[in-house]
Amino acid sequence: MAQLWGGRFTKETDQLVYNFNASISFDQKFYKQDIRGSIAHATMLGECGIITKEESKAIIDGLEGILSDVESGKLEISSKYEDIHSFVEATLIDRIGDTGKKLHTGRSRNDQVALDMRLYTRDEIVNIKDLLKELMTTLHSLMKDNLDTYMPGFTHLQKAQPVTFAHHVGAYMEMFKRDFDRMCDIYDRMNYCPLGAGALAGTTYPLDRKLTADLLEFYGPTLNSMDSVSDRDYLIELLSALSTIAMHLARFSEEIIIWNSNEYQFVELDDAYSTGSSIMPQKKNPDIAELVRGKTGRVYGALISILTTMKGIPLAYNKDMQEDKELTFDAIDTVKGCIALFNGMISTMKLNKDNMKISAMNGFTNATDAADYLVKNGVPFRDAHGIIGRLVLYCIDNNKAIDELSIDEFKEISPVFNEDIYDAISLETCVGKRNTIGAPGPDAMKQVIAINEEFLNNI
């Protein structure tokens, strides 16, 4: 047991209590951020004359040595310390002597941990943005390459109207663009420095909080010391945004699982992204898509967990908040893994364009366009809807697609039909004429693709 706070205690901590309380097993994940924060603090203490310049330099050199020794593996983070803050401070004192004991002047572990977690999550937001950008770049090229790859669009998982693969993928592009923007918003709101808040009420030392905020590349210091040590809103926002990313990936995964099924065969996942069965030799399973879909549960779990933990905590710091770490780390690592794997999976999968097209041609996806044809020829829409309903019933009874009917069969149902009906309900017309912005027609899609290109070039 190695603690920073033995002075007022007359008894050793019970070993089980110590283990229950300790956080080193997980907060060592932000050793870099802890050391970086301490270097900024020591620099500021020196600049403000709270410690001497020589002491400041000795502390900074010592901290830099610890950082490089941990990085190189020369120094192991020992689990005998309560937390990463204790480990770094004790190692510093061990290495540079009494000067090391001055590092914690005007600081508490409460503002220290608040800082470390912000620095860590801020770095991870940048990593998540990079991964989202890679994923969106893949989606962007899939869109550019598939403007005329016809497929059925669905509602209620029933074939509805024809779209293109570019258009379908474009829907996810919009979702991930919003996810990306959410990351930027969270970054902007959380990028204020809590260091200097002390335990809860600031400090009587003349700290320069603006200087530490600048050194650590924050927009500025936080404005209320009690809020600074007890605010975890930014983690809640982050976990909410991660949950939304996980949900988007899960929906897309579900579609890929359906498209990759024997019944659909719209896509074929690459061998490198599929797995086999131990008993059924024919199987090639979409495990990665299933895992991405399945991992959504633990990300949502993290969000609910932190919301619940935070709801009953009085101001300011309480130990409950230590619970923010494992779940946040897990959710971040999980979502990062999911984005990367998902990107690899969709960039290597093969599209069976013929199957998609055949599927779009069956299932009466052009029924709305057949009704619109009647409307353009003077039939009120509600009547047209009824006529095409009867037409569909006739097709079902005779096992035909609408465009397989002869002109006599068409005319039997309504005399308004003419030879030009075939052109009006072809797949090319159904999709190609839908060119209001946001629709699947190629002219509309090209405008959106140009907007996306601009978006990707500017992030």
Asked if 235 touches ligand ARG (CB under 6 A), the answer is: no
Count of residues interacting with ligand ARG (CB under 6 A) = 10
Strand partners, 158: 155
- Shortest gap between Cβ of 202 and ligand ARG (angstroms)? 16
Q: Are 87 and 81 in contact (CB under 8 A)?
A: yes
Q: HSE-up of 157 (CA within 13 Å, CB side)? A: 6
> 401, 320, 416: which is closest to 363 by C-alpha?
401
Nearer to ligand ARG, 194 or 441 (CB): 194
Residues in contact with ligand ARG, shown as a per-residue x/- string from 122 to 141 under the rule CB under 6 A: --------------------
Give the largest Cα separation in the chain, rounded.
101
**Interface region with ligand ARG, contact rule CB under 6 A, candidates 106-114, 281-289, 332-340, 447-455:** 106-114
Catalytic residue chosen out of the listed positions 140, 225, 277, 385: 277
The C-alpha angle with vertex 402 and arms to 401 and 407, in degrees rounded to 5, equals: 125
What is the spatial distance between Cα 367 and Cα 389, in angstroms, rounded to a whole number? 8
Show the site string, 294-323: x = touches ligand ARG by CB under 6 A, - = not.
-----------------------x-x-xx-
Query: Which residue number, 149 or 328, has a Cβ lying nearer to ligand ARG?
Result: 328
Q: Are 441 and 432 in contact (CB under 8 A)?
A: yes
Q: Give yes or no for residue 23 binding ligand ARG (CB under 6 A).
A: yes
Looking at the Cβ atoms of 316 and 445, the one nearer to ligand ARG is: 316
CB-closest chain residue to ligand ARG: 322
- Give me the helix-helix angle, 165-190 and 442-457, nearest 10°: 30
Tell me, yes or no, if 156 is annotated catalytic.
Answer: yes
If we measure between CA atoms, which residue out of 177, 175, 146, 178 comes closest to residue 163?
146
Distance in Å, CB of 125 to ligand ARG, minimum: 20
Q: For residues 301 and 306, what is the distance between their CA atoms, to the nearest angstrom?
A: 9
The answer to whether 63 and 92 have CB atoms below 8 angstroms apart is yes
Cβ proximity to ligand ARG, 233 vs 454, nearer residue: 233
Q: Which of 24, 147 has the CB closer to ligand ARG?
A: 24
Residues 156, 230, 261, 385: which is the catalytic one?
Answer: 156
At 274 the three-state DSSP class reads coil
Identify whether 261 is a catalytic site residue. Answer: no
User: Residue 246: helix, strand or coil by DSSP?
Assistant: helix
Q: Which of 109, 88, 83, 110 is nearest to 26 (CA)?
A: 83
Structure tokens at 298: 């633990």
**Whole-angstrom Cα distance, residue 131 to residue 340?**
7
Nearer to ligand ARG, 110 or 328 (CB): 110
Least distance (Å) between residue 226 CB and ligand ARG: 14
Told to check if 231 binds ligand ARG by CB under 6 A, we report no
Minimum CB separation from ligand ARG for residue 250, in Å? 30
Nearest to 215 by CA among 31, 48, 35, 40: 40
Instruction: Figure out which of the listed residues 29, 36, 109, 182 binds ligand ARG, where binding follows CB under 6 A.
Output: 109
Q: Is the separation of the CB atoms in 369 and 392 below 8 Å?
A: no
Among 92, 113, 200, 384, the residue binding ligand ARG under the rule CB under 6 A is 113
User: What are the residues whose beta carbons fall under 8 Å from the beta carbon of 126, sequence distance 6 or more?
Assistant: 187
d(Cα 148, Cα 166) in Å, to the nearest integer?
8
Q: Give the contact letters, 44-83, x = binds to ligand ARG (CB under 6 A), - = no.
A: ---------------------------------------x
> Hey, which residues does 161 pair with through a beta bridge?
153
Shortest Cβ 321–ligand ARG spacing (Å): 5
**Measured between alpha carbons, how far is 115 from 195 in angstroms, rounded to an integer?**
6
Among 110, 230, 309, 328, binds ligand ARG (CB under 6 A): 110
Looking at beta carbons only, is 23 or 146 nearer to ligand ARG? 23
User: Least Å distance between CB 457 and ligand ARG?
Assistant: 40
Binding stretches for ligand ARG (CB under 6 A): 23, 27, 83, 109-110, 113, 317, 319, 321-322
Q: Which positions are annotated as active-site residues?
A: 156, 277
